[in-house]
């Protein structure tokens, strides 16, 4: 079964560590419905987890101890667009810590998430405005398989 | 020897970190982390392992990874952490390499 082209799904969830697995499962189920192969589903799962991790790290919790993050999936004919939006303080993506994919390997604990997202997805855009939150838009394209 | 089973992410990593810090406090500086049954590691887990590696190396020890499944091996390759962590196929191999005192496999 192929999921409906043009549909979208949106969910809002707290930016708390225990909900990251919920987001991963939801998006991997959508990718599965779109007939992505197992490896691509795994890529999407990791990327969504990392986007949520960023929303936890850079988010701006209210007095309840969390903020709501929006996770949106847009289903196109041969690609899945995933948008993760928080309403935190925002940050400058160009200055964000990240490991350089070809640079010297250092014992750095940070910056791995961005590196994974960029490596696993076909297209990634970070939009972050100080005071107005951060949006990560990621696209995974379905690989064309030969038909008999 | 520490075994990871299932998913180690931003939610579950703190528990694993606590276990490893406990071992460090007891004076163990040669750690083997078996990933054979790990299904998923995120950047939080990878970052924690890097932190542990730094700590044990400061004490003259090492941290070796055992049998990461293909998916996790891929993440190690993307982040190039496969160049930093010694990786062994089995726990026996890891123990033998630790005894040799080799820093890199």
The parent domain of residue B17 ranges over 2-100
Q: Across the interface, do B43 and A17 touch by the CB < 8 Å criterion?
A: no
Find the mean pLDDT for residues A69-90. Answer: 90
Q: Please give the pLDDT value at position A63.
A: 66
Q: Choose, out of B10, B14, B53, B55, the residue to mutate when testing the contact with A (most A CBs < 10 Å).
A: B10
Q: Across the interface, do A119 and B78 touch by the CB < 8 Å criterion?
A: yes
Sorting pLDDT into bands at 50, 70 and 90, what band is A5? confident
For the stretch A93-143, pLDDT in tens is 665 555 555 555 566 666 899 999 999 999 999 988 777 788 999 999 998
Q: Is residue B16 part of a domain?
A: yes
β strands within A39-78, DSSP E: 68-75
Q: Which residue of A has its CA nearest to B55?
A: A107
Task: Give the domain CATH number at B83.
Answer: 3.30.750.24
Average pLDDT, chain A: 84
Provide ipTM, 2 decimals: 0.87
CA dihedral for B43, A74, A42, B16, sign (positive or negative): positive
As a residue count, chain A comes to 148
| Contact status, residue A68 vs residue A4, Cβ threshold 8 Å | no
Structure tokens at A103: 């640079």
Residue A50, chain B, CB below 8 Å: the answer is yes
Query: How far away is chain B from the Cα of A61, in angstroms, using its nearest Cα?
Result: 17
| Contact status, residue A75 vs residue A34, Cβ threshold 8 Å | yes
* CATH of span A8-141: 3.30.565.10
Q: Is residue B105 part of a domain?
A: no
Q: For residue A66, give the nearest of A19, A29, A135 by alpha carbon.
A: A19
Q: Across the interface, do B9 and A20 touch by the CB < 8 Å criterion?
A: yes
Model confidence, pTM: 0.87
Q: Is the pLDDT of residue A148 over 70?
A: no
Structure tokens at B44: 């939080």
Q: What distance in Å separates the CA atoms of residue B49 and residue A5, rounded to the nearest whole number?
A: 41
For the stretch B44-103, pLDDT in tens is 999 999 999 999 999 999 999 999 999 999 999 999 999 999 999 999 999 898 877 644
Q: Across the interface, do B47 and A110 touch by the CB < 8 Å criterion?
A: yes
Query: How far away is chain B from the Cα of A82, in angstroms, using its nearest Cα?
Result: 18
Q: Across the interface, do A107 and B84 touch by the CB < 8 Å criterion?
A: yes
Question: Which has more confidence, A142 or A145?
Answer: A142
Residue A25, chain B, CB below 8 Å: the answer is no
Q: Please give the pLDDT value at position A92.
A: 61
End-to-end CA distance of chain B: give it in Å, rounded: 17
Structure tokens at A87: 């309403």
Q: Which are the contacts of A148, defined by CB distance < 8 A and separation ≥ 6?
A: none
Q: Is the pLDDT of residue B104 over 50?
A: no
Residue A109, chain B, CB below 8 Å: the answer is yes
| Contact status, residue B45 vs residue B9, Cβ threshold 8 Å | yes
| DSSP classification of residue A69 | E
The number of folded domains in chain B is: 1
Q: Which residue of B has its CA nearest to A107?
A: B50
């Amino acid at each position: 079964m192929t999921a409906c082209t043009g549909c979208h799904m949106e969910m809002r969830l707290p930016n708390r560590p225990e909900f990251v697995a919920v987001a991963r499962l939801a998006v991997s189920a959508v990718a599965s419905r779109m007939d992505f192969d197992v490896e691509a589903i795994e890529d999407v799962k990791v990327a969504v987890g990392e986007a949520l991790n960023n929303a936890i790290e850079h988010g701006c919790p209210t007095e309840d101890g969390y903020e709501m993050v929006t996770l949106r999936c847009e289903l196109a004919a041969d690609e899945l667009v995933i948008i993760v939006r928080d309403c935190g303080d925002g940050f400058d993506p160009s200055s964000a810590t990240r490991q350089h994919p070809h640079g010297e390997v250092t014992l750095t604990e940070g910056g791995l998430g961005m590196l994974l997202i960029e490596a696993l997805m076909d297209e990634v855009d970070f939009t972050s405005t100080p005071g107005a939150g951060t949006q990560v838009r990621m696209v995974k394209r379905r690989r064309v398989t030969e038909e008999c | 020897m520490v075994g990871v089973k299932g998913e180690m992410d931003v939610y579950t990593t703190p528990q694993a970190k606590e276990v490893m810090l406990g071992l460090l406090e007891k004076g163990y500086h040669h750690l083997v982390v078996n990933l054979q049954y790990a299904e998923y590691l995120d950047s939080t887990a990878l970052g924690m392992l890097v932190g542990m590696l730094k700590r044990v190396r400061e004490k003259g020890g090492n941290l070796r990874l055992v049998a990461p499944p293909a998916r996790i091996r891929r993440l190690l390759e993307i982040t190039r952490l496969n160049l930093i962590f010694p990786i062994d196929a089995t726990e026996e191999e890891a123990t033998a390499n630790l005894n040799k005192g080799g820093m890199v496999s």
